[in-house]
Amino acid sequence: MNQKTENETSQILHVCAKVLIRCFAFSVLILMIWFVWLLTCGDFGYQYFSAWFGLTKQEFVLENLNGMTELKLLSVTLFLVPYAAIKLVLHNMYKNTASDN
């Protein structure tokens, strides 16, 4: 691969890595807000949603915990794993470039 193409690829991968880590951080922030909301306003949320869906308190908490777990798994799978893979590729690119010189 020529130097220009390698630099462009490196820049694109750096941008993708930055986007992915910011998306992961945003999803962690959403999880924290959701958790704090569940702890502080859980009773209000239960009253509000049980009127619509006829949920018991246990079902309400279980659905929230399931949703938080799904969001956590998706954010790790879709954002953190690709970020780590891109960083590994970039590390190997720099390592190979340094050994070529």
Residue 7 lies in a domain: no
Residue 4 lies in a domain: no
Q: Determine the angle formed by the axes of helices 3-53 and 57-75, rounding to 10 degrees.
A: 180
Closest CA to 57 of 81, 38, 31: 38
Count of structural domains within the chain: 1
Give pLDDT tens digits for 3-48.
Answer: 778 889 999 999 999 999 999 999 999 999 999 999 999 999 999 9
Residue 11 lies in a domain: no
Q: Are 93 and 16 contacting, i.e. CB atoms less than 8 angstroms apart?
A: no
pTM of the model: 0.85
